Structure 1
Amino acid sequence: MKRADTTLMKAFNLNAVRRVLRQKGSATKPQLAAETGLSVVTVAALVRELEERGELIEEADGTSTGGRPASVYRFDYGHTLALVMHLHEIRGVDTVMASVVDLNGQSLTEETKAFKGLNRKTFLEWVEDLLTAFPRIQAIGLGIPGQAIEGRIEVSSHERLLGLNPAELLGEPFGLPVVLENDVNAALRGYLAAGSEEGTVLGIYFPDKYPPGMAICIDGDLIAGKQGMAGEVKYLPLGIDWNSPPEGEAWSEAVCKLVHLVSVVLAPHRIVLYGDRTDGGTWIKDWRRYLNRFPLPAEPEIEWSDRFAEHFASGIREWTLKTLEPRVL
């Protein structure tokens, strides 16, 4: 039992040093000791182990104090990489974007391919080429417009995705963990990463060609619901055919109706609306008129954003990188 306790404590201490270096980028042993509360002797042993694992690089301080220059230990963000891929509309074209990122979220390479030009064989060949070019990749993240049940995609506006199990498709041939996330969930993660996660925040995405989807976050936690189906708003009986949505004022009314309904049910503090079909300023005026007809007991803050692609990419990237963080039971 004592040996197990010692091993666990060492793992905690390694993570403490790793966390400080990952945040600061570089530090000396005394600086690490001050930040972690560990002794310099303990830090020296931990730094040596992290260096042997390839996570740190030792460099000379360069600051002359008349004696031997202190060593600075720089965290090597590139010692482990992740492959992040997501499917998104770009100017009406369904496009798969691939990015290899380091532990600091910096992209080392980016590639795009038209979704219609990919099949199972060409997709796997693409992934294999990236893994060969970047052998330090240790995880794969996939962002999809749809929802999976027990790993299998059961709900999606893209029929070619239905029935696929990405973990089996990619995990088995390449032996890497696969992270799967819904597009609007990932986008809301990306949005919240830059600000406060307090309260209830909703993200609703209105694609050009497909039905809308919604993400729900309460105090920083995304709500998946049973089988991950929370937020599948296209199933609401609103009398709206989202596959052939109305235009003009009728479209604005449809969006108002949806926003009003989720506001009544969830009473969010803020709603982020994504989509290019509606001018945010014009819609807000329609929303004010709608509220005059149908008041809310607690009116949310509404924000229109044109940064869905950016938030989607950053959200799935950060979620994938979390799988590479060492875990201590």
Structure 2
Amino acid sequence: MKNIGGNAMVIKEVNMNLVRKALKAEGEATKQQIASITGLSAVTVGTILQQLLQTSEVLESELCASGGGRPAQRYKYNGDYAYILTLFPYETGGRILMRSTVVNLLGTIIHEGAEDVAQVDVACFEHIIDTLIASYPAIRAMGIGLPGAEWKGRIVISDYKALLGVSMVEHFKERYNMPVIMENDVNAAVVGYCERAQIHSDEAVAYLYFPDRFPPGAGIFINGQLFKGRRNFAGEVANIPLNIPWGEHAFVSSSEQVEQAIVQLIVSICAVINPDRVVLYGSIVNQASGSRIAERCRAELPVSAVPEVIVSEDFTADYLEGMVARTLATLEPSIKLSRHE
């Protein structure tokens, strides 16, 4: 016989989250429908719904059409019960802009903005965050996207020198008293791509990003999880000793050299994680070069190791989707029941 571990409070939280997820997925549902979806008893579902109604996290909707008996009450999840805020800087035409997005719990965008900043530092983040929290006081969590990496809570690799050594997450947690995450740009992009493409949980995906002025980076998604390595260094593919002069003008101007270099990089990654898909994005690749790169990979790798090579059309959309998914996850209870023999 298998026993489910966990005390009454844990089980209550798990059951409440099951009801939340069912309502989010269905849009609207009756108590009996939620019970059928979750496997919980109608009595348990009714108790949870009453608790969620009291906090306005769930709202009553229209009654079902009556077939002669008492019409059943329908319920819907209140997406505006709380908001999340994501921010990330990007460069265009010699300008640095800070993109901000406020999203509700159902993933609906409430606000989008892009503000010029003279320098990416803590102060520029605080100015934008303070303004948006004043306008949207229901913001309950924040996600900050940045190129680079952090270690032991401090930024150790960054394109923005003013942020090196800064404990961004802890600083903003203390200042705003809410959950805060910081995510590498390409890590967020691979999460976003997998969300948008509805990647199966048993697939492995490597997302290679080739920025114009910096060496490439990779995001790795394996078995439904973002893989960062023990010290967040996974994906720093520019450190693979392939002697590729990333960013040099002579190299970038030769499509032949660029394509061969990307093939070398893909082959190296395949030898380590053997991904199902490799996604490429950058001004040095397009659909035509992506097809040639895929063909060369087929010539370089055994059949069992050849990944599907895809060129993404919109890094920003992948990046934003990933930041939203990662930040929303901070507001979802992660408690799970475990089974023990």
Amino acid paired to 2:230: K
Amino acid paired to 1:196: H
Amino acid paired to 1:146: G
Q: CA deviation at 1:290?
A: 7.3
Amino acid paired to 2:257: A
Q: CA deviation at 1:120?
A: 3.2
2:229 to 201, 204, 225: 225
Decide whether aligned partners of structure 1 residues 92 and 286 sit closer, same or farther in structure 2, where only a CA change above 3 A counts.
farther
Q: CA deviation at 1:48?
A: 0.8
Contact 2:81 2:138 in 1 (8 A): yes
Decide whether aligned partners of structure 1 residues 304 and 81 sit closer, same or farther in structure 2, where only a CA change above 3 A counts.
same
Answer yes or no: is 1:37 the counterpart of 2:39: yes
| 1:240 paired residue number | 244
Q: CA deviation at 1:228?
A: 0.5
Which shows bigger deviation, 112-121 or 224-233? 112-121
Amino acid paired to 1:73: Y
Q: CA deviation at 1:62?
A: 5.6
Q: CA deviation at 1:316?
A: 1.1
Q: CA deviation at 1:68?
A: 4.7
Q: CA deviation at 1:66?
A: 4.7
Give aligned-pair identity as a percent.
35
Q: Map 1:1-329 onto structure 2 (within 5 A).
A: 5-61=7-63, 63-66=65-68, 68-90=70-92, 93-117=95-119, 119-193=121-195, 194-244=198-248, 246=251, 247-248=253-254, 249-285=256-292, 288=295, 292=299, 295-297=300-302, 298-328=305-335
Quote the Cα distance in structure 2 between the aligned partners of 1:117 and 1:180.
Answer: 18
Contact 1:81 1:139 in 2 (8 A): yes
Decide whether aligned partners of structure 1 residues 225 and 49 sit closer, same or farther in structure 2, where only a CA change above 3 A counts.
same
Contact 2:285 2:311 in 1 (8 A): no
Decide whether aligned partners of structure 1 residues 11 and 120 sit closer, same or farther in structure 2, where only a CA change above 3 A counts.
closer
Quote the Cα distance in structure 1 between the aligned partners of 2:54 and 2:266.
Answer: 54
1:183-220 deviation per Cα after TM superposition (whole angstroms, max 9, x unaligned): 11111111112222423321100012221101222222
Amino acid paired to 1:205: Y
1:266-288 deviation per Cα after TM superposition (whole angstroms, max 9, x unaligned): 33222111112223313532663
SS at match of 1:57: strand
Contact 1:60 1:70 in 2 (8 A): no
SS at match of 2:115: strand
State the TM-score, normalizing by the size of structure 2: 0.86
Quote the Cα distance in structure 2 between the aligned partners of 1:122 and 1:139.
Answer: 18
Q: CA deviation at 1:260?
A: 2.5
Q: CA deviation at 1:20?
A: 1.1
Contact 1:100 1:109 in 2 (8 A): yes
1:115-138 deviation per Cα after TM superposition (whole angstroms, max 9, x unaligned): 435543343121011111111111
Amino acid paired to 1:95: L
Q: CA deviation at 1:11?
A: 2.4
Amino acid paired to 2:30: T
Which shows bigger deviation, 247-256 or 266-275? 247-256
Q: CA deviation at 1:49?
A: 0.7
Amino acid paired to 2:10: L
Quote the Cα distance in structure 2 between the aligned partners of 1:53 and 1:290.
Answer: 55
Q: CA deviation at 1:309?
A: 0.9
Gaps of 5+ in 1: none
Q: CA deviation at 1:250?
A: 2.6
Superposed CA RMSD: 2.3
Q: CA deviation at 1:181?
A: 1.1
Q: CA deviation at 1:5?
A: 3.5
Equivalenced residue count is: 324
Contact 1:20 1:32 in 2 (8 A): yes
Which shows bigger deviation, 138-147 or 83-92? 83-92
1:10-32 deviation per Cα after TM superposition (whole angstroms, max 9, x unaligned): 32322222221121122112222
Contact 1:190 1:313 in 2 (8 A): yes
Quote the Cα distance in structure 1 between the aligned partners of 2:296 and 2:52.
Answer: 61
SS at match of 2:231: helix
1:89-125 deviation per Cα after TM superposition (whole angstroms, max 9, x unaligned): 4466443211111111111001112343554334312
